[in-house]
Amino acid sequence: MKRVLEGSHSVAEAVRLAKAEVIAAYPITPQTHIVERLSDFCADGSLNARYLRVESEHSAMAALIGASSAGVRTFTATSSQGLALMHEVLHWASGARLPIVLAEVNRALAPGWNIWTDQTDSLAQRDTGWIQLYCETGQEVLDTTLQAFRLAENVSLPVMVVLDAFYLSHTYEPVDVPDQEQVDRFLPPFTPRFMLDTERPCAFNQMAPPDVYMEMRRSIQEGMEEALGRFAEMEDEFKKIFGRSYGAVEPIACEDAEIILVTSGTMSSTCRQLVKELRSRGEKVGILKIKLFRPFPAESIRRRLKTARKAAVIDRNFSFGSGGIFAGEVKAALCDIPERPVVFSFIAGLGGRDVTVGDLENIYMQTKNHDVPQQESIWTGLRPASAPAPDLKR
């Protein structure tokens, strides 16, 4: 049924349809609407789950580690400082091979306090062993949350569904909310391979000396590798039931494109607008939207980018001392092939600064007008150093 839903509520609807059994969460803007709506569902009985109102994000993830180890479907949501606080236990969740699903609303990290969108919080967790899926629209948010449970349970790894603060979390869009019967067909009840069981007592997560630890780490990587194939298979199944699919990466007008803009999240929508305009003026431009960030779909990215002359990766994030994080990953994926595009790395929209069609057109023109990038990372939309900070008292 089509409904007009806020992005946050799309997440909550999917969690209800997925019949999560234990939810533990702690409030932080701009994630709160997700957990408030889930509280409503638990209170009015439309979701039969235990909801733990824990005293921190660290405890939220820890509680889900306990619940998931006992063999039930689990969910939490967080953002920014909350995700950073969880860091230690994010590693724990993947190391313990627990299919926990987390909705992460991209928000800038302090200081200074900034509640607006920025991907550095989730990307800083890239080495924690979590699958990461970035979303562009309200529909994609709902669908991806459903997909996340299935993927997580297929490969025994936790999944992070990532959405932009406000542009997605607080924006209302028409969203097709599927029937319970359809969802049940797509997502069978969770049957854990191992769990805490007094009939079959086992020790979990115990000491692992050097002679066994490395194999355990290797098996996490095997899970990640398996997730690439499972993602495609899962999307095929999803498409059969719901008629929609997204792809680990989505190429838009890439076939004959000389310049490809590489994006993720809601900025992809602005790029779509720009590409429509540029194409009508005869420019050979396309977009490669990256949805799956971990495991990184390097092969698909190579396949889509190798025929272009240039790629402009636009990062709403930054790794200090290095550069845009998607750009770094894309360059690494391309470096082994002989015929590859020149990669330009642009930094835009940190801390929720608006990135307009005009800004993206500038990025496109800079890429077009230079044979090689002028800098390792090109920061766009910066106020000139001489310009005073805006007067907030006005």
Partner 1 sequence: MQPEVPDRDYMFPGHVGCPGCGAAIAMRFLLKALGEKTVMVIPACCWSIIAGAYPQSALKIPVLHTAFETGGAVASGVRAALDMKGDTETTVVTWAGDGGTFDIGFQALSGAVERNEDFLYVCYDNEAYMNTGIQRSSSTPYGAWTTTTPGRDWKKMRKKNIVEALVAHRIPYAATASIAFPEDLFRKVAKAKAIKGARFIHIFASCPTGWRIPSEISVKIARMAVQTNIFPLYEVEDGLRYTINFFPKGYLVKEYFRLQGRFKHLTEKDLDQIQSMVEEDWKLLLRKAGLS
Backbone angle region of 112, left / alpha / beta, with phi > 0 → left and psi within -120 to 50 → alpha:
beta
Contact between 26 and 56 (Cβ < 8 Å): yes
Residues near partner 1, by CB under 8 A: 21-22, 24, 49-50, 52-56, 58-60, 62-72, 74, 88-89, 92, 196-198, 200-209, 212
Sign of the alpha-carbon dihedral angle for 160, 166, 170, 173: negative
* β-strand partners of 174: 4
Between 70 and 241, whose beta carbon lies closer to partner 1?
70
Minimum distance, C-beta of residue 73 to partner 1, in the bound complex (Å): 9
Distance of CA 243 to the CA centre of its chain: 22
Return the CA Rg of the chain. 21
Minimum distance, C-beta of residue 24 to partner 1, in the bound complex (Å): 6
Between 21 and 136, whose beta carbon lies closer to partner 1?
21
Between 9 and 73, whose beta carbon lies closer to partner 1?
73
Contact between 160 and 104 (Cβ < 8 Å): yes
DSSP string, 119-131: THHHHTTGGGS-E
Tell me, what amino acid is at 276? Answer: K
Minimum distance, C-beta of residue 50 to partner 1, in the bound complex (Å): 4
Between 86 and 142, whose beta carbon lies closer to partner 1?
86
Between 172 and 194, whose beta carbon lies closer to partner 1?
194
Tell me, what amino acid is at 324? Answer: G
Minimum distance, C-beta of residue 385 to partner 1, in the bound complex (Å): 43
Residue 44 exposure: Cα atoms within 13 Å on the Cβ side: 7
> In this structure, what token pair is assigned to residue 141?
């948010």
Between 194 and 379, whose beta carbon lies closer to partner 1?
194
Q: What SS3 class is residue 90? A: helix
Contacts of 162 (CB under 8 A, 6+ apart): 104, 105, 106, 119, 122, 132, 133, 134, 135, 265, 293
Between 22 and 360, whose beta carbon lies closer to partner 1?
22
Contact between 73 and 19 (Cβ < 8 Å): yes
